[in-house]
Amino acid sequence: MDIEALIKNYVEQGYVLIPEVFCHVPSFNDLLDEGAEPFYEQDQSTLRSLYGFHNNPQFTAWIEKQRLLCEITQRILGDQVYLHQTKVNIKNQQESSVWPFHRDFPFWKVFDYFPENCFLNAVVYLDDVHEGSGELEVIPGSHREFLDREANEHTDYSLEGSASSDLLFSFSEEEKSYFQHKYGLEKTTGPKGSLLLFDPNLIHGSGVSYRDFSRKIMILTFNACSNLPSNDSPRPVYLCNTDRTPIAWKN
Ligand SMILES: O=C(O)CCC(=O)C(=O)O
């Protein structure tokens, strides 16, 4: 794999999709232990996301063996890393499972008090992700341009606003059209085991699924260990992990 080209793409476009990187990925059932936090759709019964499995033994055994993630995170973030957030998003065939277009970093800046974006999102495909299955869509290059109104955006924390389809920090249709018209829109479909890396300032979102209930993606948010918050986050540790011990990668 040409890591240099991959990093160049990530820096320029704000994302890079590498098909079929992992021949083995953690099973969703393994992650569903008592330490993980489920989040439900508005009907209060359909599982939307599972958060906070960074201490799950099956998951830790898997992540510690991922040398590619070790190399990429250390090259891009220039430091040892820990997992700020771990989650699996499940795409259901219903309106409420959409993710409005947004950036991720404002959540960590405003609610978790991290001044710098020294974060990286790694999305591991736990299922094949087909077009029409509510695949993640990204606006290439949008991580470099910000609207004036974003400079001092401030809003109060709410759990709903952090994890539901009624998401805080999302863009209006008009704003999304502005970015889309300027930069285009890419669908990130790919087989199970693919890896999508994206800058947390990249604008992204996903629509409803017209297919089935099976699309699951695991989003791992790495932070550089030297990137410290200026205050304590009001959010639970499954949204903002306070254990900043570096990942003990295995050779
Ligand atoms: O799972 C998805 O389709 C989108 C997830 C997302 O945008 C997020 O978790 O920030």
Give me the CATH number covering residue 150: 2.60.120.620
Q: For ligand 1, pick from 49, 98, 206 the residue to mutate: most ligand atoms within 8 Å of CB.
A: 206
Rounded Cα gap, residues 178 and 171, in angstroms = 10
Closest ligand 1 atom to residue 219 Cα is 9
Q: Is the pLDDT reported for residue 234 higher than 80?
A: yes
Q: Is the pLDDT reported for residue 93 higher than 90?
A: no
Residue 81, domain extent: 3-224
For residue 248, being part of any structural domain is answered with: no
CA of 162 to the centre of ligand 1 (A): 11
Q: Is the pLDDT reported for residue 213 higher than 70?
A: no
Taking the whole predicted model, whether its pTM rises above 0.75 is answered as yes
Q: pLDDT class for 127, splitting at 50, 70, 90?
A: very high
* H or E element in which residue 69 lies: helix 67-77
Closest ligand 1 atom to residue 89 Cα is 1
Domain count, the chain: 1
Among candidates 213, 235, 232, which has minimal Cα distance to 114?
A: 232
For residue 157, being part of any structural domain is answered with: yes
Q: How far is CA 129 from CA 38, 83, 136, 205, 229, in A?
A: 22, 24, 9, 14, 35
**Mean pLDDT throughout 219-239?**
97
For residue 140, being part of any structural domain is answered with: yes
Closest ligand 1 atom to residue 206 Cα is 3
Residues with CB under 6 A from ligand 1: 89, 99, 104, 136, 204-206, 217, 219
Closest ligand 1 atom to residue 135 Cα is 3
Most confident option among 28-32, 152-156, 214-218? 28-32
For residue 232, being part of any structural domain is answered with: no
For residue 131, being part of any structural domain is answered with: yes
For residue 61, being part of any structural domain is answered with: yes
Q: Is the pLDDT reported for residue 96 higher than 90?
A: no
For the segment 140-154, what is each residue's pLDDT rounded down to a tens digit? 999 999 999 998 888
**Mean pLDDT throughout 145-167?**
91
For residue 149, being part of any structural domain is answered with: yes
pLDDT value of residue 154: 82
For residue 103, being part of any structural domain is answered with: yes
Token representation of residue 24: 């083995």
CA of 163 to the centre of ligand 1 (A): 9
Token representation of residue 7: 């990093």
CA of 206 to the centre of ligand 1 (A): 7
